[in-house]
Chain A
Amino acid sequence: MRPLFILAACIVGLALIDPQDVLTLATAASSLETFATIGLVALGLGLTMMIREFDLSVVGMYSMAGCIAVVMGGTHAWLGLACALAAGLAGGLAQGWLIMRLRLGSVGVTLGGLLVFAGVAYVVTENRALPYENMQVALGLSAPIGGIFSTRSLVAIAIFAAAALVIGLTRYGRDIIAIGSDRRGAMTAGVNVNVLVIGIFGFSGFCAALSGALLSYSLASASPAGLSDVIVPAAAAAILGGVSLAGGTGRPLGIAMGVLSLAVLRAGFNAVGAPPYVNGVAMGAILLIVAILDGPYLARRLHWLVRRRAH
């Protein structure tokens, strides 16, 4: 319930500041564009957090996929997208395989992956920003559909819906929670831990690649150095969405709420004309409050403070 509450608080808070500018279709559309930009990265990262791992490499994958798509998709956009997705899936699966086969920690492996993917992005673009000439694709991806949607945001919503259905209705959802809560117990209970963990890293790579490629297409440019600040909003969204770094909690719908909260905040601050840094400060403050409220020792410390005051 908390993700829904945070989302509602964000909307109500912004609406109280300036209802006329905030509660518009333009704000909704702009929120959904942000949702498309960070949503899938947050979903992939959130799933790795649910199994008690952490996929740092999404940052590198995001920019690598954008660069591959723009380089390979000059004439055929689908070809570029396919190459980017294949690279994302392969990179994610390879990292998952390394983690399980060599029993390595995921932060270390995905840090290596991050540096390698960023390196590939520099190599395929030959260290410069590339324009994407196919303007039809660029415009088509961001063209409004039904007032507030675009192809990009519909793709993100569709993948969230698919993930929510698979995790909510099949045993994969329970297996993922089981792996995140108690890996050895899950193994004993007959969960195929290896396949699921490798698969989730593959899915995370795929999601990061998809949103990176679509973003580069819609911006009509790709740069190996840009796009790198995606991990902060993605991790923040997953955590606001009820995913815990301790593993074993979270749902795709919750992550979607978390992403929407951040997206609404960004669009709302833009709508009321706040300077750009307000969004960063607000995101940091919300994240810090969530971290404090989630602190396992919070109740104990408060109790101690109250008792000390009583004496």
Chain B
Amino acid sequence: MSRSTEAPLAERAIAADAREGMGARAGEPRNYVGIVRAIVLVVLAAVALTTPGFLSQPSILSLLTTISFIGCVAVGMTLITISGNIMSFALGALVGATAMIFVLAVNWGGFAFGLIAALAFAGLSNALQGFLIGWLRANPIIVSIAALALIYGVAEAFAAHGTIYAAAGTSYGGFKGRIAGIPVEFAVFLCVAALGQFILSLTTFGRNLFLIGSSFRAAEAVGVRTWRAITGAYLWAGLFTAPAGIMLAIRYDAASMNYGMGYEYDAIAAVLVGGTIIKGGEGSVLRTLAGALIIGVIQVVLVLQGLRTEWQYLIAGLVVLGVIALQTSGTRD
């Protein structure tokens, strides 16, 4: 699961160099970080398991459903982060826009047409951003902020009332409910995560993303067509984000731009909590899966412990900050 064996020598040399430059401290920081991290996880697991009701079926099912929406976005975000492009601010807006396209297309041409239209829209609009970022080396943060403003603006122009409703009697062919006891949402999320991990670890494209993320110049020097890989990373990020929008639309029989609001922050939190490095070049979808689960478990535990909503927000924020502080320690440029 760890990709550190594949981190190129150059990256390690730079990291070691930076440590010296910043005033080296005794010992390898990662060692004790690893210990603290293990303790935190054990404590979290202990608190969760001793919380009354945590192991009950409704609680587990709601946990699995909740993390699925943000999880899909986070899998897409993982590809962007690993490829060295930090994060995309537009994925939350993309969730809402995809949900809208899906509902419109289903109303017009049926369920299958809706799926195709939603996936095509999410993939292509994200790939276009990836093309600008990869081909022109345009700044990923600026491009995604511009895309965010454009998506919200265009959506507002087309849906002045804010919410689009599915036509009465729309059938989603078994996409509501459960498959073999687990929520459909979670099954979809698992498929997305499996596909993401497959792409990252078993394809040349995935290897190229790690190479580009850890050293763009090295990737160019060995002849990787960096613009194709980066465009591909954004294309897949869009395709992985689309199911979140589609599933939200199916769940509520409606779509609005409010659906994905703030998902980009939750998704990057899951990515970072899982331990994918913000600088790029190191990480995995499995880590993101773990990160999404950790955040989800914390939220469920807080609910079950009877804390009021506002305290849940604060404690979840503090835990994310703490986990980020622990996991990225000693890895700054």
Bound Cα distance from A292 to B133, whole angstroms: 9
* Chain B 251-289 per-residue mask, 1 if CB under 8 angstroms from chain A, else 0: 000000000001001001100100000110000000000
What CA separation (Å) do A187 and B18 show in the bound complex? Answer: 13
B154 in contact with A281 (CB, 8 Å): yes
Contact A105 B332 (CB under 8 A): yes
Nearest B-chain residue to A298, judged by Cβ:
B136
Q: How many Å lie between the Cα of A47 and that of B318 in the bound state?
A: 26
Identify which of A104, A117, A127, A297 contacts B324 (C-beta below 8 A).
A104
> Contact check: which of B21, B138, B279, B320 meets A112 at CB < 8 Å?
B320
Residues 136-149 of B, flagged 1 when their CB comes within 8 A of A and 0 if not, give 11110111011111
- In the bound complex, residues from chain A placing their C-beta under 8 Å from that of B268 are 107, 111
Do B87 and A291 touch across chains, with their CB atoms under 8 A apart? no
A120 within 8 A of B: yes
Q: Return B28 CB to nearest CB of chain A, in Å.
A: 14
Q: A115: which of B146, B147, B317, B328 is its contact (CB, 8 Å)?
A: B317
Closest B residue to A287 by CB, please name it. B146
Is A122 a contact of B132 with CB atoms below 8 Å?
no
B157 at the interface (CB under 8 A from A): yes
CB contact under 8 A between A288 and B325, given known A103-B330, A236-B145, A295-B137:
no
- Cβ of A127 and Cβ of B310 under 8 Å apart? yes
Among A116, A232, A278, A284, point to the contact of B321 (Cβ < 8 A): A116
Whether B146 and A123, one on each chain, are in contact in the complex, defined by CB atoms closer than 8 angstroms, is no
B311 in contact with A277 (CB, 8 Å): no
Is the pair B318, A116 in contact by a Cβ cutoff of 8 Å? Answer: yes
Closest to B144 in A: A291
- 10 A-B pairs besides A116-B317, A284-B146 with CB distance below 8 A are A105-B279, A109-B324, A112-B317, A116-B314, A232-B148, A235-B145, A246-B139, A284-B149, A297-B136, A298-B136
B interface residues with partner A (beta carbon < 8 Å): 21-22, 86-87, 89, 132, 135-139, 141-143, 145-154, 156-157, 262, 265, 268-269, 272, 278-279, 308-311, 313-318, 320-322, 324-325, 328-330, 332
9 CB contacts below 8 A, A to B, read: A103-B329, A104-B324, A104-B328, A107-B86, A115-B316, A119-B316, A236-B149, A281-B154, A291-B139
